Structure 1
């Protein structure tokens, strides 16, 4: 069998994460991250077969320049000849897509139309697609949607209690996000714990700068915490999560905020950053918490309390629980937050094992509860790139 590689691209508003992955083994040959795009201190760091390198980008470098640099690296390491597809993470696909899609003009139109629902994400995703199409016009380009996994949610879970015409005419509903991550870690948990593929109940918590919780029954998403946009749900790095909708009127009519200012505040100035007034980086907040910083402590307390409430709520649709799974940068590395969340859930019989909890960090998976715990809790490092690679390779072979 010939060697087949997939280029995986994940464009954020000011970043570009990438990897060239062997579609058979999952090995990453080239991987990296371009950060602070559009700023004077833009950089691109990468690894080729494990060796770390760093390339400085020109001041103000944008996504196209970053992708041009990536293309140069791909040719420099003679990887282009084995590429069969480019897989793109796309945050919002609306109701139109229940799975990954080969990118056509019609698919691009839908991604463009849904950009208003994910204004921080979809425009950047489109930029990455267009730049990759220009660089690799001969390759199949595949969109892998964060929302697709959640299209199995029942209507009573995804509809808002608003006039039904808003759903029928404008698609106003809860969509959910981080679907690729929730899907990956749930399948890994089922395999690791020896659960039946057609008979299991999991709650997965993807915790990073963006955070979401998902209730999964027999491999399908039945509820999730994010909504029409990635703003709804639990507290996040800079996003508020759930708030009283009446806050909009109060801020605009009583305090003189514009709609744009309210939107910026809720998306970029709230969450852990807003409460702590220190940082959105959980590591910084935890360091301050250990030193007794009052607002850092409050930020962690609110974050963990709201997260535990959301997890407990998903016992309703699942009617039981086989395992709770933590993933994402915070979920995989913060033993402090995991311990605080499980302390809130001790009434359900959750018993954390401190040594296991400390051991399951920095890329290591494992169960973090004791043998006598009534609810098994584990850490599974996510691997969205591998999921995107698999979907892109499958569709490329069938294209």
Structure 2
């Protein structure tokens, strides 16, 4: 039975969406609404079979108005005949804590837990709830489901998620490594298994989701073994505006020296650090590389730190798992920045990684094997598709309930 399913990724000022015909996995429409709450909000939608995206600028005061615009567009462009055609909606949630190891229907309990976990993902979980409540009002008869970025990592062994602080903080406050981008890493793992025609439980790979936010995962026998992000999405490698892993005493030092509040430090580490903080130029790697090519010393330093952090993580996971079959690059930087990929792979030659420049340069946003046939470790570029994973889970939950 074919049905219409929506995948939704709501932020505090944005709403991304894809509309699928399932189980055929046909994308009927996709798009995003940006700058929600402003007079110059941007609504964009791309329709099946059309190469051009339809965009317009208009005032969208809140998520309810954004959802209304979206629903009107789906009917106007005949994606659906009526809103009742939309049978299921999957909502991306960044933090599910230890409560969720898989996608679940939205009910009073699951919604309360997502709200409880807002303190662990203050930039993300509140937006997901706002999106849910707006869409649930517009689509009251649809099956609404949560898909969690942390769920994929519930297979990690204790040694890889317990922090070396007093154990009581894990028992009492659930402080542990949770990770993020799990929906993306799950897709990359299963997609590589499909491409190579291997059972997913025989795959040992290192997946690199390198975007504005970034995480690297060791996948052993098809399951998450360790992830670079930690208790919150602030941990791990250097990111666009996030610092990643630093000496925790730096936080104490800055609080004592400058009398920063917790909120001020949170802003510094989450929004003013990373590529932006070191370069002083931009949180966008493209801008950093351009400035680096022009000889800007801080841009050159930023580039070097970023590559070094990625190499360190990949090499560490290779050793931790006792080897790996493949490395996968994905997300904005991983999919589109051939310079970063080449530099990282060149520094991994000690692991037997061989990526000829001719295999890598000018490859953007498409599935491609980048390594040579004699490379000890395969290297792949695979565009991520979190929306498809969410739609698959929402379809499964809907059909299981029928």
What does the per-residue CA deviation read over 1:346-387, in whole Å, with 9 as the maximum and x for residues that have no partner? 1112121112112431x2111112222221111000000000
| CA deviations over 1:48-94 (Å, ceiling 9, x no partner) | 22242112231x63222211111111222341343210110011011
Shift of 1:319: 1.1
CA shift at 1:192, angstroms? 1.5
Give the Cα–Cα distance (whole angstroms) in 2 for the partners of residues 293 and 33 of structure 1.
34
Q: Provide the secondary structure at the position in 1 that maps to 2:16.
A: strand
Q: Report the Cα distance in structure 1 between the residues aligned to 2:58 and 2:312, rounded to whole angstroms.
A: 44
Residue 163 in 1 paired to residue 146 in 2?
no
1:226 alignment counterpart? 229
Q: Could you tell me which residue of structure 1 aligns to residue 17 of structure 2? A: 18
Residues of 2 paired with 1:299 and 1:61: CA distance? 37
In the comparison of the two structures, how many residue pairs are matched? 396
CA deviation after TM superposition for structure 1 residue 318, in Å: 1.5
Alignment of 1:77-88 (within 5 A): 77-78=77-78, 79=80, 80-88=83-91
1:102 aligns with 2:105: yes
What pairs up with 1:243-282 in 2 under 5 angstroms? 243-282=246-285
The superposition leaves residues 178-231 of structure 1 with CA deviations (integer Å, 9 ceiling, x where unpaired) of: 001001011111221233333221000001100000010111001001111000
Contact 1:57 1:66 in 2 (8 A): no
Q: 1:64 corresponds to which residue?
A: 64
Mapped contact 2:188–2:382 kept (Cα < 8 A): yes
**1:286-365 equivalences in 2 (<5 Å):** 286-361=289-364, 363-365=365-367
Q: Which consecutive aligned stretches of 4+ in structure 1 deviate over 4 angstroms post-superposition?
A: none
Secondary structure of the residue aligned to 1:40 is strand
1:106-185 alignment to 2 at 5 Å?
106-185=109-188
- 2:216 aligned with 1:217, yes or no? no
| Mapped partners of 1:241, 1:197: distance in 2 | 30
Maintained 8 Å contact 1:202/1:322: yes
Structure 1: runs of 5+ lacking an equivalent = none
Matched residue, 1:40: 39
Question: Taking structure 1 as reference, are residues 349 and 316 closer, same or farther at Cα in structure 2, changes over 3 Å only?
Answer: closer
> Secondary structure at the residue paired with 1:254?
helix
> Structure 1 CA distance, aligned partners of 2:149 and 2:309?
23
The separation in 1 between residues aligned to 2:8 and 2:58, in whole angstroms, is 18
What are the ranges of 5 or more consecutive residues in structure 2 without an aligned counterpart? none
Alignment equivalent of 1:238, drawn from 218, 236, 241 = 241
Alpha-carbon deviation of 1:24? 2.2
Is the contact between residue 6 and residue 391 of structure 2 (CA under 8 Å) also seen in structure 1?
yes
Deviates more, 1:77-86 or 1:218-227: 77-86
1:388 corresponds in structure 2 to: 390
Q: Indicate if the aligned counterparts of 2:87 and 2:141 stay in contact, CA closer than 8 A.
A: no
The alignment partner of 1:381 has SS state of: coil
Map of 1:4 onto structure 2: 3
CA contact (8 A) 1:222 1:317 kept: no
With 80-89 and 116-125 compared, the bigger mean Cα shift is at 80-89
Q: TM-score, normalised by structure 1?
A: 0.96
Deviation at 1:101, TM superposition (A): 0.3
Secondary structure at 1:314's aligned position in 2? helix
Alignment of 1:194 with 2:197, yes or no, is yes
Would you say the 8 A contact 1:5–1:23 is kept in 2? Answer: yes
Instruction: State the distance in 1 between where 2:223 and 2:4 align.
Output: 29
Contact 2:91/2:147 (8 A) holds in 1: yes
Bigger mean CA offset, 217-226 vs 253-262: 253-262
